[in-house]
Amino acid sequence: MGRMKNLARELIVRPGSKFKLADIDAEDTHGIHKSAAPGHLQKNCERLSVLQYLLYAEARRSLLVVLQGIDAGGKDGTISHVMSGLNPQGVTVTSFKVPEGPERRHDYLWRVHQAIPEWGKIGIFNRSHYEDVLVVRVHNLAPRSAWSKRYRQINEFERMLSENHVRIIKFLLYISKDEQAKRFHERLDDKSKNWKFSAADLREREYWDNYIAAYNDVLRQCSTAEAPWYVVPANHKWFRNLAVSQIMRETLEDMKLKYPKPSADLSGIKFE
């Protein structure tokens, strides 16, 4: 098994760049061959488990992983594959749905702030505050005057978090429209996947171009040094899992996590 290339560098959306999704090929596997993937994925998951342990032991910082994607983009699959090696005590997964109850009586970041992982933990967001500039914008759920201010607000919120020991990485799982059709067909044909099918997803598909436009603005305006966006070509599930695990690993390695000093002088301890 050769060395893994630096996927973070290849998939990051450079802050301030004129990024557009039309330039990304959802089939791309960045020169990696499928046969090499399982070995690397396994190594990443093993290393993630060690890094998570260090994060937990240190208990002074946390990692927030935001997953976004068009319907059938593979958010659930990524969570189950990539996070399977993590210790459940140290991870929280939060799925953001249509706001209800008190969520509707607060600003849109209220529920998000409550779900930020505490220090020592990894938090996974299955959808996020970005819905408030995606679905909300595409379907005019709020006036433009409201959502257009949110790019700045989100950047400020994420900077505040990063200045308070929350490391943030954000993934767009990017599939093509054809691949989405294929996955919807699977949901219809496979009895074990029928439950995943929703007529709403088909309606959303008609807004494909609007979503792409909305995502382009998110990626151009909200990929920052403190909280970068990564666009993961996700037609190939094996590549998607490999890329997400690799970038999570690189991020945690970069944090230079260390065990805290023991609270007692261990050399002097004796007991029978």
Q: Which residues in this chain contact ligand AMP in the complex, by CB under 6 A? A: 96-99, 127, 131-132, 135-136, 141
Cα–Cα distance for residue pair 91/56, rounded to 1 Å: 10
Nearer Cβ to ligand AMP (115/135): 135
CB of 152 to ligand AMP, least distance (A): 18
C-alpha 220/C-alpha 233 separation (Å) is 17
Which residue minimizes CB distance to ligand AMP? 131
Tell me the closest approach of the beta carbon of residue 138 to ligand AMP, in angstroms: 9
Q: Quick one: 54 or 138, whose CB is closer to ligand AMP?
A: 138
Q: Detail the DSSP E strand segments found in 164-264.
A: 166-174, 229-233
Smaller CB separation from ligand AMP, 200 or 266? 200
- Least separation in angstroms between residue 136's CB and ligand AMP is 5
Measured from the Cβ of residue 215, the count of other Cβ atoms closer than 10 Å reads 23
Q: What is the 3-state secondary structure (H, E, C) of 26-54?
A: CCCCCCCCHHHHHHHHHHHHHHHHHHHHH
What's the closest the beta carbon of residue 224 comes to ligand AMP, in angstroms? 21
Q: Which is nearer to ligand AMP, 1 or 199 (CB)?
A: 199
CA atoms within 13 Å, Cβ hemisphere of 15: 9
